[in-house]
Amino acid sequence: MKTYVTVATAAIAGLSLVGEAAATEWNVSLWGKRRAFTEHVEKLAELVSEKTGGEFTLNISYGGLSKNRENLDGISIGAFEMAQFCAGYHRDKNRVITVLELPFLGVENLEQEVAVSSAVYSHPAAAEEMAQWNAKLLMTSPMPQYNLVGTGEPRDELSEFEGMRVRATGGLGEAFKAVGGVPTSVTATEAYQAMEGGVVDTVAFAQHAHLSFGTINQADWWTANLNPGTVNCPVVVNIDAYESLSDAHREALDSSVSEALDHYLANYGELLERWDSTLAEKGVQKVEIDAAVIDEFRAKAAAPARDAWIADMEAQGLPGQELYDLVVKTLADAKSGS
């Protein structure tokens, strides 16, 4: 506890010096290691430093400042100025953005994921909820649809999901529960141990995470096209820190978001192009799920999860229907190119 308070005090002290010195240093709390999932934050740091002649720097830490489930708490108390987190880690704290984790929304690529995330992040309800944690939504961490890795015989029939222990958070977990699965929400950094120790039978991740957290190294098979949904992981900044920035430094940060996301998309695209050869190299069987099985999964999981989410949000005084409709409309616009 003493270390945590010391970090928080140092961070707050650092903020008070912004007005006395030209240099601004922000601490950024991530986890794991540098990977496709964090490339936009790395690019953001590079761009901000370039635009300010090195006067504004982002010091990125991979697990040294906070545990991944505690990043939003750290932002709220000013322990650091920027952080990444995933909605499924604490759904009660970020209810609004969990609309983006509903199963079978129909998002087809990362560009569409950016579009729907940006629309929800811009909604007043999202800003108001994050403000309770002294957090401002800065940008998303777009990920492709999740798919399973597992050991033994492939689970390619819906009946085989009955009793399947699966690492899946948020709406994905609810989707697997709807077809008899037993979801567990261990963090990404715990997934390898959970799989190795037999705590879970399968793990649902995007491709980069199967690589980064080693689950692909234990896998016998991977579902290429189940595509039940994804998780939403924003990058947020501490509101007090953001508002204390000089106009020039704030402009450098804001104007770099789009370019940082473009870099992320390009980098992730290269990873996806290499994915099939990676599977072959590691001896992992690529399993194509029959379309009828996916349709059955969607029928059992999508509408019930959507209706339950909307009802739950509305009961809490949040505009659930409006947020869901916003996602649907934004996605339709993105697909039509409008």
Provide mean pLDDT across the span 68-76. 97
Query: Which amino acid belongs to residue 215?
Result: T
Handedness of CA 28, 32, 37, 39 (dihedral sign): positive
pLDDT tens for 304-331 read 999 999 999 999 999 999 999 999 999 9
3 state DSSP class of 227 = coil
Q: pLDDT tier at 285 (50, 70, 90 boundaries)? A: very high
The helix-helix angle for 247-273 and 110-121 (nearest 10°) equals 150
Q: What DSSP state is assigned to residue 61?
A: E
Residue 4 pLDDT more than 80?
Answer: no
Q: pLDDT tier at 3 (50, 70, 90 boundaries)? A: very low
For residue 239, how many other CB atoms are within 10 A of its CB?
17
Entry pTM:
0.85
Domains of the chain by start residue, with CATH: 2-143+232-271 (3.40.190.170), 147-230+284-336 (3.40.190.170)
3 state DSSP class of 7 = helix
User: From CA 179, how far away is CA 160, in angstroms rounded?
Assistant: 9
pLDDT tens for 138-185 read 999 999 999 999 999 999 999 999 999 999 988 899 999 999 999 998
Contact 149, 212 (CB under 8 A): no
pLDDT tens for 76-114 read 999 999 999 999 899 999 999 999 999 999 999 999 999
To the nearest whole number, what is the mean pLDDT of the chain? 92
> What are the DSSP E strand ranges found in the chain?
24-30, 56-62, 82-84, 135-139, 147-150, 165-167, 182-184, 202-205, 221-223, 235-238, 285-287
